[in-house]
Amino acid sequence: SCKEHEKGSLLKFLDGLSQDGGLTSSWKDGTDCCKWEGIVCSLDGTITGILLASKSLEGPISGSLGNLTELRHLNLSHNSLSGGLPMELVSSRSIAILDISFNQLNGELHSLPSSNPAQPLQVLNISSNLFTGSFPSTIWKAMENLIALNASNNSFTGAMPTGFCKSSPSFTVLELYFNKLSGSIPLELGDCTMLTVLRAGYNLSGTLPDELFNAISLEHLAFPNNDLHGALDGACIINLRNLQTLDLGGNNFRGKIPDSIGQLKRLEMFHLDYNNMSGELPSALSNCTNLITVDLKENNFNGELGKFTGEIPQEVGQLKALLSLNLSFNHLTGQIPQSICNLANLQVLDFSNNNLTGTIPAVLSNLHFLSRFNVSNNDLEGPIPSGSQFNTFPTSSFDGNNKLCGPMIIQKCGSAEAPPASILSAKKN
Ligand SMILES: *[C@@H]1O[C@H](CO)[C@@H](O)[C@H](O)[C@H]1NC(C)=O
Ligand SMILES: *[C@@H]1O[C@H](CO)[C@@H](O)[C@H](O)[C@H]1NC(C)=O
Ligand SMILES: *[C@@H]1O[C@H](CO)[C@@H](O)[C@H](O)[C@H]1NC(C)=O
Ligand SMILES: *[C@@H]1O[C@H](CO)[C@@H](O)[C@H](O)[C@H]1NC(C)=O
Ligand SMILES: *[C@@H]1O[C@H](CO)[C@@H](O)[C@H](O)[C@H]1NC(C)=O
Ligand SMILES: *[C@@H]1O[C@H](CO)[C@@H](O)[C@H](O)[C@H]1NC(C)=O
Ligand SMILES: *[C@@H]1O[C@H](CO)[C@@H](O)[C@H](O)[C@H]1NC(C)=O
């Protein structure tokens, strides 16, 4: 059964809470604390885990938990805990997994004494709290075993932390989304050859450093809504052959999408919306056959949309996973390619605010899952496809300069062309 002094540390934690979510009914002095709710012990009765996610706990986290010398796993996520992160936990000689995400913890992270020996910490999730201040550079030096740091959704300021990859060779996940970080992307990230997830926003500036493309294990690379600029280097980007997510939306990137994008065969999500990209859409994009979302809206792309598919229409049909295609607010010309109808899973199709001409291919009525559709503000003409899903789209989806006709907007039918048969028969009645 559990050790008396360890039970004391747990009771001290419980006493400190202002709201224990009913924990007292299980955590009773005089009973074996290894049997208490959320407590995991080793065979000899030493506490190794405290798993109390989503238990409606409120109040501060007592530093007494740092006295549990074999505690490896502490998960207090999704509660309403407040106050600071006790230094005893960060500098614990046993904790490998520390997840305190989704609470209201605040204050700054303190640096560890430089004499601190190597830390066992592997996973640190402090995301979705109210932490402030900058990342103390010394904190990472001792963390030789760190694999994942998730600090998203706080109010951290200052530069992106670096140095993990030299000190922790297995470093894999760095999430810094939704903070107030500033400065440029550190070149040292290129040392992180095991890094698979890198997400950071929202105030970074500068360019994507060439060194970053040495992090060849990257699967998810996201720097949305920063102030990054420069061109996308085609020779660099093909180093990241494992990329599944590339999100550079809401920046100031310019130039063309490099043809080498077609070599990122695993790409599922490609976001370059709200940038200053220009030129034609590379037909090579149709080689990325695992794409699920492509978001290129609000740029300066031009050229014929038909070219995106025109040269290799059979390949575009291979983008079978595509769920969403938004190319609105560009300068695309030419016709809507027939081959779009091969994208059988497509739910969102937005070509609005371009200069497209010709008709909407009737075969688009085969896109049975289409739930959002917009071709407004183009120069399209002729009938709206007859599929029943087209009856559910608002008139505004077809408005603008277009001269489209269909059951809901008969008045816009070009007089030169015969109205479609469905309308003729409606008139006869
Ligand atoms: C940790 O344990 C020591 C010795 O039992 C005790 O003096 C100290 O107050 C404890 N620390 C906390 C934060 O409870
Ligand atoms: C902590 O618990 C939550 C809820 O069960 C879970 O989603 C999360 O993955 C856990 N954290 C870690 C690091 O295992
Ligand atoms: C916190 O982050 C870690 C590491 O990325 C992850 O394993 C864990 O599931 C996250 N916790 C929650 C509640 O999402
Ligand atoms: C990091 O935390 C955020 C928000 O708290 C969560 O949405 C995300 O899934 C986490 N990332 C990982 C890799 O666990
Ligand atoms: C950010 O944190 C707040 C507070 O914990 C939470 O309600 C919100 O869902 C989080 N946002 C994201 C994107 O994870
Ligand atoms: C966008 O790029 C063009 C050149 O392609 C340049 O003239 C223009 O100033 C840029 N716009 C912004 C907002 O940077
Ligand atoms: C496509 O992008 C535009 C422009 O930002 C946005 O307003 C619109 O809601 C998006 N379309 C769809 C169908 O999501």
Closest CA to 292 of 247, 335, 339: 247
Separation between Cα atoms, residue 363 and residue 346, nearest integer Å: 13
pLDDT at 310 exceeding the cut of 70: no
Supply the residue whose CA is at minimum distance from atom 12 of ligand 7.
Answer: 350
Q: Which helix (H) or strand (E) holds 295?
A: strand 293-295
Per-residue buried b or exposed e for 385-405, using 16+ beta carbons within 10 Å of the residue's own CB: bebeebeebeeebbbbebbbb
pLDDT of residue 316: 52
Q: Residue 283 Cα, ligand 6 centroid: separation in angstroms?
A: 24
Expressed in angstroms and rounded, the spacing between residue 291 Cα and the centre of ligand 1 is: 54
Q: Kindly give the distance from the C-alpha atom of residue 313 to the centroid of ligand 7, in angstroms, as a whole number.
A: 25
Please tell me if the CB atom of residue 101 comes closer than 6 angstroms to any atom of ligand 5. no
> Residue 421: is its pLDDT beyond 60?
no
| AA letter at 314 | Q
Cα–Cα distance measured from residue 295 to residue 222, given in angstroms and rounded to the nearest whole number: 14
**Minimal-distance CA residue to ligand 6 atom 12:** 276
> Strand order of the sheet with strand 252-255?
205-206, 227-231, 252-255, 276-279, 300-304, 331-333
For residue 190, how far is its CA from the centre of ligand 6 (angstroms)?
29
Please give the Cα distance from 306 to 281 (Å, whole number). Answer: 10
CA 189 from chain center: how many Å?
A: 19
Q: Quick one: fold of 231-413? A: 3.80.10
Query: In this predicted model, which residue has the larger pLDDT, 239 or 321?
Result: 239
Q: Which helix (H) or strand (E) holds 348?
A: strand 348-350
Please tell me the distance from the alpha carbon of residue 73 to that of residue 64, in angstroms, as a whole number: 15
Contacts of 88 (CB under 8 A, 6+ apart): 63, 64, 65, 66, 67
414 pLDDT above the threshold of 80: no
Both tokens assigned to 84: 């600071």
pLDDT of the residue at 427: 36
Going by C-beta distance under 8 Å and a sequence separation of 6 or more, which residues neighbour residue 287? 262, 263, 265, 315
Residues found in the chain: 429
pLDDT in tens, 171-191: 999 999 999 999 999 999 999
Residues β-bridged to residue 49: 40, 73
Give the position, in ligand 3's atom list, of the atom nearest the Cα of 127: 1
Read off the pLDDT band of 1 (50, 70, 90).
confident
Among 29-33, 242-246, 335-339, the least confident range:
335-339
Binding site membership of 151 for ligand 3 (Cβ less than 6 Å) = no
The confidence band for 409, taking pLDDT boundaries of 50, 70 and 90, is low
Residue 429, pLDDT above cutoff 50: no
Tokens, residue 399: 């408005």
| DSSP 3-state of 365 | helix
pLDDT band per the 50, 70, 90 thresholds, residue 130:
very high
